[in-house]
Amino acid sequence: MPWLQALVFVGAAVVAAVVVTALTAFIIRRISRRKEWAKCLIRRARVPFRLFLLVIALWIALQATNVDPWWREFLSHAALIATIAAGAWLFCALAIFVEDLGLARYRTDIPDNRHARRLRTQVLIIRRVTVVAAVLVGLGAILLTFPGVSAAGASLLASAGLISIVAGLAAQSTLANVFAGMQLAFSDAIRVDDVVIVETEWGRIEEITLTYVVVHLWDDRRMVLPSTYFTTTPFQNWTRKNSELMGSVDFDLDWRVDPDGMRAELHRVMELTDLWDHRVAILQVTDAVGGFVHIRILVTAVDAPTLFDLRCYVREQLVRWIQQVSPLSVPRTRVEHSETPLETAVPRTRAVPVDTQPDALFSGDASAALRGSQFTGPVEVPRAPGADRAGADRRDPDRAGADRRDPDREGPR
């Protein structure tokens, strides 16, 4: 009856595991009434602890039975693998429980929580490294339970040099992010809940992992950035040393504004709000050009969200004061009207040199000059033969008669 014996042993093992689990749970619950850490232990380790006890009991029961060796070896091997996996799970749960105990001593809901946020960031990175190491050790232990894995491991170690080079080149970016994540955690460059400006966006560091960082933006978006971003790219950390910040509120007002009256109103409204931390509240005229008076107000608050609300509050109150008390301060654009008529604009033309000669009516090239000479020069009139002499006779009759009376002037015939 080997199978009946095996069932009895397995049943006894299950009952024993249940009894031990119930007894342990009873003791922890009694302690949890007075100790807060016991509640955390129950929440973290209840399921892996029960599973670990159950698989150990089954493995022991199978080792004590006399069933068929093949089935017993197969079931014992499966129980051993389950025991290793449950043990790794329980170890991770206990490690997280210890880390939670350390984090519980440092509160992050207080104004000056820089040390607590730094410790929390480092603990979260250590937690992830611990979990990864436990999983790798568990997988290695499970693989070593198979025959022949040791020989395969030896052959892999023999060629580890080439494999490590290839793997290093293939996983270069991943390894760079891993080392960058550890550098961020322990260099204190950023911490969980730090207020940062990345990619022109305002947000808080929500999560830091070994390979990426999650930034919770102001409008509830999440920006996921690789860890190498914060080691290679400049960014703003508003809470690097402390959370107190200073902000400005700017106004462009008319020259008739009363800075003293506006300053008194600023001090009055600042005393009426709890957003102000009573460090700085000043009003200064920083510029007066371009027809406007530039007024800048500097105020301080305990953190960035409070500072944003305080700036909005100051802006609203002073806008109301300008509307109700000092309406002359509203910015105006002044325009001067002139009664003198403006000169008529004359289209601009290219200056052309003028020739003062009478016949220079056409110009520009040789053909134009020729055409001008034809219109303005002397005009030749054709004459008949003897017309010139007859004309001369008509002009001087005495000379014509003398020519007729003096035969010697005619010359020889």
Structure-token pair, residue 257:
């504004």
Distance CA 224, CA 179 (A): 17
Q: In the sheet where 245-253 sits, what is the strand order?
A: 245-253, 293-301, 281-287
pLDDT at 124: 80
Distance CA 249, CA 252 (A): 11
Which contiguous run of DSSP H or E holds residue 224?
Answer: strand 222-226
pLDDT at 171: 54
Q: Answer yes or no: are the C-beta atoms of 46 and 95 closer than 8 Å.
A: no
Residue 149 or 311, more confident: 311
Residue 235 or 55, more confident: 235
Q: Answer yes or no: are the C-beta atoms of 90 and 45 closer than 8 Å.
A: yes
Give the chain's domains with CATH numbers: 2-105 (no CATH), 245-329 (3.30.70.100)
Tell me the range of 29-33, 164-168, 269-273, 340-344 where mean pLDDT is highest: 269-273
Distance CA 215, CA 220 (A): 10
91-118 burial, b if ≥16 CB within 10 A, otherwise e?
bbbebbbbbbeebeeeeeeeeebbebbb
Q: How confident is the model at residue 41 (pLDDT cuts 50, 70, 90)?
A: confident
Q: Answer yes or no: are the C-beta atoms of 131 and 91 closer than 8 Å.
A: no
Q: Answer yes or no: are the C-beta atoms of 245 and 303 closer than 8 Å.
A: yes
Question: How much is the average pLDDT of 103-121?
Answer: 70
Phi/psi region, residue 199 (left: phi>0; alpha: psi -120 to 50; beta: rest), is left
The SS3 assignment for 142 reads helix
Tell me the range of 21-25, 161-165, 285-289, 376-380 where mean pLDDT is highest: 285-289
pLDDT at 1: 52
Tens of pLDDT, residue by residue over 396-409, are: 545 545 444 444 44
CA-nearest of 140, 3, 147 to 68 is 3
What counts of helices (H) and strands (E) characterise the chain?
A: 13, 8
pLDDT at 269: 94
Angle at the Cα of 254 from the Cα atoms of 250 and 256, rounded to 5 degrees: 120
pLDDT at 59: 76
Q: Answer yes or no: are the C-beta atoms of 239 and 303 closer than 8 Å.
A: yes
The SS3 assignment for 116 reads helix
- pLDDT exceeds cutoff 80 at 295: yes
pLDDT at 404: 47
Question: How much is the average pLDDT of 57-63?
Answer: 75
pLDDT at 358: 47
Q: How far is CA 105 from CA 123, 187, 241, 370, in A?
A: 13, 22, 21, 111
Tens of pLDDT, residue by residue over 265-274, are: 999 999 999 9
Tens of pLDDT, residue by residue over 238-256, are: 888 777 889 999 999 999 9
